[in-house]
């Protein structure tokens, strides 16, 4: 028997979430962002559900290869463009569209030998100061690209720094409009947060949006809005089982450092899940879990391979929780437990992080399954 921990991918939820994104962005085309191995879900596992997108956006050439191997003939966009000249050969061979965010990438294109010119997305640094040309050098970069025989259509791209927060998109949107005024080409500026919060505005959704986290059932602006607000569904469930039970008396401690001490008689379950599975070590006492579909909490430190949970709540709810019981670390309980939900955002908040980080960090030793 393998350890009982398993992650499940919910294809119907991926389909549903893609539809929800579409509802927010008018007639814009949608890039399904599948970087970081589809936010930890696995490109091969999400492909069928997300092939209703208009294209796939990612960073790694080998992930683009995998999408072509799956049979995807539509657009693929490299969000960071190429890293060295020979990457352009892969772009030519696989027909990849790529971002151009710096002069060095234009130099590489100018030296590239290709039969078919490349579709490129010229990136504006609208104030985030990560990748992209400053507004004052954007037009010169466009003109340089436009003069190259290696370049086909030029699209215009930007990334918001504050689409999920109180600052919103207004200032950077104005920067984009000014820097690109009069330039031809499709526009692509919005991530999930901008799409969900402001996507009704045609100036925000433009021609393409890049949706990542919303597809994967995590709210880009939790806790201001949870997945219920956006009508998104969890796409990944991390589940394990109880492999041991301890009865505690008042004063008994749990785990390394004796960080939890019982103040009344209680039972705890020891779960086959630890930080070596990708569960954050910081999620000690009080982080929500579902035991037999009933909400409870972690107790004590998270170990490498185990963590402890409080059996009080499920037993009070009439469940015979103990050895072998199902524990949901995030996502959905199994159908036998009513598919109760524990949004990944709630767990992430207890770990002082975001859903993105948890889903990307599920360890290689955790086996994956599919569950509609």
Ligand X SMILES: *Cc1c(COP(=O)(O)O)cnc(C)c1O
Q: Report the interface residues with ligand X, using CB under 6 A.
A: 33, 35, 79, 159, 191-193, 210-213, 220
What is the SS3 assignment for 294? Answer: strand
Q: Give the nearest distance from C-beta 56 to ligand X in angstroms.
A: 12
Give 133's DSSP letter.
B
- Of 4 and 168, which CB lies nearer to ligand X in the complex structure? 168
Beta carbons of 39 and 356 less than 8 angstroms apart: yes
Indicate the SS3 state at residue 268: strand
Contact 54, 74 (CB under 8 A): yes
Q: Which is nearer to ligand X, 33 or 124 (CB)?
A: 33
CA of residue 75 relative to chain centroid, distance: 20
CB of 252 to ligand X, least distance (A): 43
Tell me whether residue 66 or residue 159 sits nearer to ligand X (CB atom).
Answer: 159
Specify whether the CB–CB gap between 281 and 301 falls below 8 A: yes
Q: Residue with the closest Cβ to ligand X?
A: 212
Instruction: Consult the annotation and say whether 304 binds a ligand.
Output: yes
Q: Minimal distance in Å, beta carbon 9 to ligand X?
A: 17
Please, where are the H alpha helices in 25-60? 35-39, 43-50
256 assigned to active site: yes
Q: Which is nearer to ligand X, 124 or 213 (CB)?
A: 213
- Among residues 35, 39, 123, 216, the one annotated as catalytic is 35
Nearest one of 122, 117, 106 to 183, comparing CA atoms: 122
- Asked whether residue 93 is marked as a ligand-binding residue, the answer is no
Taking the least distance from each CB to ligand X, the nearer of 77 and 291 is 77
DSSP letter assigned to residue 310: E
**Closest approach of Cβ 211 to ligand X, in Å?**
5
Contact call for residues 273 and 331 (beta carbons, < 8 A)? no
Which of these is catalytic: 47, 256, 279, 319?
256
Q: What span, in angstroms and rounded, lies between the C-alpha atoms of 62 and 362?
A: 20
134 is catalytic: no
Q: Cα 216 to the chain's mean position, in Å? A: 6
| Least distance to ligand X, CB of residue 164, Å | 7
Q: What do you get for the CA distance between the two ends of the chain, in Å?
A: 24
Which residues does the annotation mark as catalytic?
A: 35, 256
* Binding site members: 130, 304
* Binding site members for substrate: 130, 304
């Amino acid at each position: 028997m393998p350890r009982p921990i398993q992650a499940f991918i919910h294809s119907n939820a991926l389909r549903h979430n893609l539809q929800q994104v579409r509802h927010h962005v008018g007639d814009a085309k949608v890039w399904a962002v599948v970087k970081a191995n589809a936010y930890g879900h696995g490109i091969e596992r999400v492909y069928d559900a997300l092939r209703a997108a208009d294209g796939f956006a990612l960073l790694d050439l080998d992930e683009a290869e995998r999408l072509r191997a799956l049979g995807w003939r539509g657009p693929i966009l490299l969000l960071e463009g190429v890293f060295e000249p020979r990457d352009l050969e892969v772009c030519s061979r696989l027909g990849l569209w790529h971002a151009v965010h710096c002069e060095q990438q234009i130099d590489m294109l100018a030296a590239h030998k290709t039969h078919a010119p490349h579709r490129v997305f010229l990136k504006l640094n609208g104030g985030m100061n990560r990748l992209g040309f400053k507004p004052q050098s954007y037009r010169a970069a466009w003109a340089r690209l436009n003069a190259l025989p290696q370049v086909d259509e030029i699209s215009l791209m930007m990334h918001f720094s504050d689409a999920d927060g109180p600052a919103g998109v207004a200032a950077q949107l104005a920067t984009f409009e000014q820097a690109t005024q009069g330039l031809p080409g499709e526009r692509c500026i919005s991530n999930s947060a901008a799409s969900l919060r402001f996507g009704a505005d045609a100036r925000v959704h433009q021609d393409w949006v890049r949706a990542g986290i919303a597809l994967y059932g995590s709210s880009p602006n939790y806790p201001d809005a949870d997945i219920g607000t956006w009508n998104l569904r969890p796409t990944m469930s991390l589940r394990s089982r109880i492999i041991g039970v301890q009865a505690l008396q008042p004063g008994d401690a749990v785990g390394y450092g004796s960080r939890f001490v019982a103040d009344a008689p209680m039972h705890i379950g020891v779960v086959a899940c630890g930080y070596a599975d990708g569960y954050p070590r910081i999620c000690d006492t009080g982080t929500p879990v579902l035991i037999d579909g009933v909400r409870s909490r972690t107790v004590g430190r998270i170990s490498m391979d185990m963590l402890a949970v409080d059996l009080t709540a499920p037993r009070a709810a009439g469940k015979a929780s103990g050895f072998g019981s199902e524990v949901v670390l995030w996502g959905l309980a199994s159908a036998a437990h009513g598919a109760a939900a524990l949004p990944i955002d709630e767990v992430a908040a207890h770990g002082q992080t975001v859903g993105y980080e948890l889903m990307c960090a599920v360890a290689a030793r955790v086996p994956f399954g599919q569950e509609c």
